[in-house]
Amino acid sequence: MIKEQLIETTQYLIKRGFDQPEVGIVLGTGLGKLADELSNPIVAPYSQIPHFPLATVEFHSGKLIFGEIEGVKTVVMQGRFHLYEGYDFMHITYPIRVMHSLGIKKLLISNAAGSINLDLKKGTLMLIDDHINLQGGSPLAFKEVALLGERFVDMSQPYDPDLSAIMVDAAEKQGINLKKGVYASVIGPQLETRAEYRYLKMIGADAVGMSTVPEVIVANHLKLPVAAISVITDEGDPDNLKPVNVEDIIRVAEEAEPKMMRLFKQVIKSL
């Protein structure tokens, strides 16, 4: 069933002009403006794409956009899907499978995250070096998975070392202070308690968010090299925890967004 859906979705997008993109990008909360950098854009609203879920979160716009960045054919997800919206892992990761079916060879992911490691201040960019899946499931746990790839996927290096090295080099060229760390993915949508922040620190997390990990698991399932950046939007100090609202998170993400845009454009230029 899913193979037939992927074929139908892919054929629809090819007919719309999505012509063999080389790079796929997933844009996180407050980080949608990179899509404006695409030259000759072709926009496909999620609502018009066969078998695509709809973004239900008000600050996720819900468009798949094809164009060129630094002369490289690129497809951008402006708005992603989350467990907290009521979607299952299959829906959340379906766009990754679609972009791979269209032909992408590299995947770049961004998200907004809260810091566990208090050396990571608001506005910092963190290259995800590894992750902890606390979402209680897997996007590979379904009957048809073996039709799409190996069921038991090795995750010893979920983030591609070569692509991550390009990310580090691009940050140096752009004068961006890029940190490295471990990302913990939780369900949400509620933010963390003091005790949860302490727990996350104990198990080795540097930052926490509500996305990315399912997408990265599927990228590994597809043998698709992936690198991911967290934009730190709030600080989870359990001994001095201040109330945080989504508006503040979006504001900090938007302030840091130009750095992330410069970084991703430099990475694409270097591929």
Average pLDDT over residues 119-135: 97
Has residue 58 got a pLDDT over 80? no
Tokens of 247: 């508006």
Lowest mean pLDDT among 6-10, 25-29, 233-237, 243-247: 243-247
DSSP state of 225: -
Pairing of strands 226-235, 125-133: antiparallel
Q: β-strands 178-185, 125-133: how paired?
A: parallel
Is the pLDDT score of 251 beyond 70? Answer: yes
What is the rounded average pLDDT of the residues 47-74? 84
Residue span of the structural domain in which 180 resides:
2-270
How many domains does the structure of the chain reveal? 1
pLDDT of residue 31: 80
Query: For residues 99 and 215, what is the distance between their CA atoms, to the nearest angstrom?
Result: 12
pLDDT value of residue 249: 87
pLDDT at 246: 83
C-beta separation of 75 from 196 below 8 A = no
Runs of H (alpha helix) within the chain: 2-16, 89-102, 161-173, 194-202, 213-221, 246-270
pLDDT of 106 > 90? The answer is yes
Structure confidence at residue 32 (pLDDT): 81
CATH number at residue 153: 3.40.50.1580
Q: Give the pLDDT of residue 144.
A: 87
Whether the pLDDT of residue 59 is over 60: the answer is: no
For 109-123, 167-181, 191-205, 236-250, which range has the lowest pLDDT when averaged over its residues?
A: 236-250
